[in-house]
Amino acid sequence: MNEQEALEQQEEAQETPAAPLSPEQELDQRRAELDALRQELAQGWSILNRERRLDMLGHELEKRGMAAGFADFLLRATDEESLTAVEQFEALFRESLTHAITQRMRGGLPPREPKKSRGYRRGDLGSLSRSEINAHWDEIMQSLTD
Residues 138, 118: contact at Cβ < 8 Å? no
Its pTM stands at: 0.47
Q: Give the separation between CA 58 and CA 61, rounded to whole angstroms.
A: 5
Alpha carbon distance 137, 143 (integer Å)? 10
> What value does the mean pLDDT take over residues 118-135?
80
Listed in sequence order, the residues at least 6 apart from 84 whose beta carbon sits closer than 8 Å to its beta carbon are 76
pLDDT tens track for 88-111? 999 999 999 998 888 888 776 666
pLDDT digits (tens, 9 = 90+) for 34-83: 999 999 999 999 999 999 999 999 999 999 888 888 888 898 888 899 99
